[in-house]
Amino acid sequence: MADAGAPPPPSAEHPLRVAVVGAGPAGIFTADALTRQSAVPVAVDLIDRLPTPFGLVRHGIAPDHPKMRAIRDTLHRSLDHPLVRFVGNVEVGKDITLDELRRHVDAVVYTYGAALDRHLGIEGEDLPGSLAATDVVSWYCGHPDADRAGVEAALAGIRSVVVIGVGNVALDVARVLARAPEELEPTDMPQHVLDALAATSVEEVTVLGRRGPAQATFTTQELRELGELARATVLVDPAELVLDADAEERAAADRGVARNLAVLREWSRHQPEPGHARLRLRFYRRPVRLLGEDRVTGVEVERTAVDGDGRAMGTGKLEIVPADLVVRSVGYLGTPLPGLPVDQRSGTVPNDAGRVLRGGRPSPGEYVAGWIKRGPSGVVGHNKHDARETVAGLLADAADGTLRVRGPVDDLVRTLQDRGAEPVLLEDWRAIDAAEQALGASRGRARTTLHEREALLAAVRAAVGR
Ligand SMILES: Cc1cc2nc3c(=O)[nH]c(=O)nc-3n(C[C@H](O)[C@H](O)[C@H](O)COP(=O)(O)OP(=O)(O)OC[C@H]3O[C@@H](n4cnc5c(N)ncnc54)[C@H](O)[C@@H]3O)c2cc1C
């Protein structure tokens, strides 16, 4: 017999209220999976600390990859769903605490990504002219929190760049810095970014891998693109493509590795071309320290050999690679939201198939998806499967009564407004979107990203006449 005092199960009149924290791909796929089913009536608040949705699809995917960035159009369909309310410009942990948020809803799904850069932990890393890939990417994508002055100062007058790391993000950074201004001109980068990049004349970009070409994590598509730049020639030392037996085995077992090696072998025949920047891919080199007094002048690297387990072992042979700018691209890390556990080593929220674990046990009403659930790797599409798994757990908990609709609660947006916050709702985001497209059109482009938070909010205020 039903317990007369128990809260009712979710219904169309009293849907399960779910807050999703982070409107990147994982958050949007979570909202999508929640609203695609009809077994459990839901109402979703999709919260983001920025006034804009899409997370790293807006502020990570390289602006010279317009086809990839067009995934926004697909994601937007989920934002448009009547049961989803976009609540931007609200930082959970700052504008509202986790406890307060949980009092407003029946369940929370954390999808706030993993935005912190990993450090190399070597001498000189904090010198001017040493940046994290996150700094550079945030800047060229127009993230409101990017250190615009810092990055532009680091770029001024540079001739040679070292990018440390051989993943796709490292290649993004190397490619953007080696591109000719006319190649970047049609992108949605903020105008001051285009101007700053056009003012640099990079002559040499060196991408450094600790291990060999068989262990690099870039994909062949990203790699090949380096060979298509208008004014840069990719150079590879053929000696670094000679594989030992383990690497040969790896190449035989993994078609991606074999394809990468084929591309690199072709490039190993390249010679520097007059008038072109040199884009060198170098392997078996581990950074030991960054050199320089007032700013970076180079990287001291140690030659390595790869052991049977695929680990880079130092050989003691040191060399110097000169550089005016060093960009480290050695991975991202998730950080805790105040009040939420995060495993320090993996930078993820402890979970069992998306149910948040506190003290090793599932915490009722708390879920996690995306990079903060499984770590910072994988493409946009991976977050879809991941979000579905999490939502399946949430819906099962609603079906078996673990999750219930609590009594009437104050509306989240009203609460935020009452305390002086300025939530950006879907119509407001549309005003930003329209302003960016209009700005782009005035310069013959599809869009120009508004960089500063104030500029984004000004577009909202202008549209609603506030
Ligand atoms: C530089 C770079 C380039 C990439 N390029 C590609 C590519 O070309 N193709 C591809 O398929 N994948 C690419 N990826 C991977 C892809 O971007 C990720 O798989 C995906 O964005 C992860 O989704 P997420 O939702 O977990 O995190 P995110 O995309 O990081 O979204 C997290 C969201 O949470 C918000 N947030 C953070 N903290 C709070 C808080 N306290 N309160 C409220 N909101 C908060 C953030 O503002 C953000 O919008 C790239 C990644 C990077 C870093």
How many structural domains are present in the chain? Answer: 2
Which residue, judged by its Cα, is nearest atom 14 of ligand 1? 379
- Same domain, residue pair 110 and 122: no
- Same domain, residue pair 275 and 323: yes
Q: Domain range holding 77? A: 16-115+334-424
pLDDT value at residue 1: 41
Taking CA atoms, 347 is separated from 27, 331, 334, 450, in Å, by 18, 11, 4, 30
Q: Within 10-65, where are the H helices? A: 25-36, 56-59
Any domain includes 420 = yes
Residue 298: which H helix or E strand, with range? strand 298-306
pLDDT value at residue 196: 97
Any domain includes 32 = yes
Any domain includes 274 = yes
- Same domain, residue pair 138 and 264: yes
Pocket of ligand 1 (CB under 6 A): 21-27, 47-50, 55-57, 60-61, 65, 68, 91-93, 111-113, 115, 137, 169, 172, 337, 370-371, 378-380, 383
Atom of ligand 1 nearest to the CA of 26: 25
- Same domain, residue pair 167 and 178: yes
- Same domain, residue pair 338 and 355: yes
Span from the CA of 330 to the centroid of ligand 1 (angstroms): 16
Any domain includes 360 = yes
pTM: 0.96
- Same domain, residue pair 124 and 177: yes
Atom of ligand 1 nearest to the CA of 115: 30
Any domain includes 444 = no
For a mutational test of ligand 1's pocket, the pick from 50, 61, 384, i.e. the residue with the most ligand atoms closer than 8 A to its C-beta, is 61
Under 8 Å CB-to-CB from 48, ≥6 apart: which residues?
22, 23, 24, 27, 55, 86, 87, 88, 89, 90
Distance CA 165, CA 376 (A): 15
Distance CA 352, CA 303 (A): 41
pLDDT value at residue 408: 79
Residue length of the chain: 466
Any domain includes 11 = no
Span from the CA of 401 to the centroid of ligand 1 (angstroms): 32
pLDDT value at residue 462: 94
Distance CA 438, CA 446 (A): 8
For a mutational test of ligand 1's pocket, the pick from 112, 177, 189, i.e. the residue with the most ligand atoms closer than 8 A to its C-beta, is 112
pLDDT value at residue 95: 96
CATH of the domain at 185: 3.50.50.60
Any domain includes 457 = no
What does 308-373 look like in DSSP terms, one character per residue? Answer: TTS-EEEEEEEEEEE-SEEEE---EE--PPTTS--BTTTTB--EETTEEEETTEEEEEEEE-THHH
Q: Which residue has the tokens 């594989």?
A: 243
- Same domain, residue pair 57 and 188: no
∠ CA 285-291-294, rounded to 5° = 155
- Same domain, residue pair 277 and 318: yes
Stretches in the chain below the pLDDT threshold 50? 1-2
Instruction: Among 330, 346, 374, give the residue marking a domain's end.
Output: 330
Any domain includes 131 = yes
Contact 351, 374 (CB under 8 A): no
